[in-house]
Structure 1
Amino acid sequence: MVQKKLHPSVEQFKDFVKANPKIIQEVRKGNTTWKELYEDWYLFGEDDSRWDSFREGKKPVIKESGEKKTDWIAQITSVIKKMDQNQMEEHIQNISQALTAVQGVISQFQRSPQQPGPQQANPPTSPFMFRKD
Structure 2
Amino acid sequence: MTQKKLHPSVEKFKEFVRNNPKIIKEVRKGNATWQELYEDWYLLGEEDQRWEKIGSDGEAAEVKDEKEAKGDLMSNVMGIFKKMDPNQMQSHLQNISQAIGAIQGLVSQFQGGNAPNNPVKPPEGPKHPFSFRQD
State the structure with bigger RCO (CA 8 A, min sep 6), 1 or 2. Answer: 1
More helix by share: 2
> Would you call these one fold, judging by a TM-score over 0.5?
no
- TM bucket, shorter chain: 0.3 to 0.5
Instruction: Give the alignment's TM-score, normalised by structure 1.
Output: 0.41
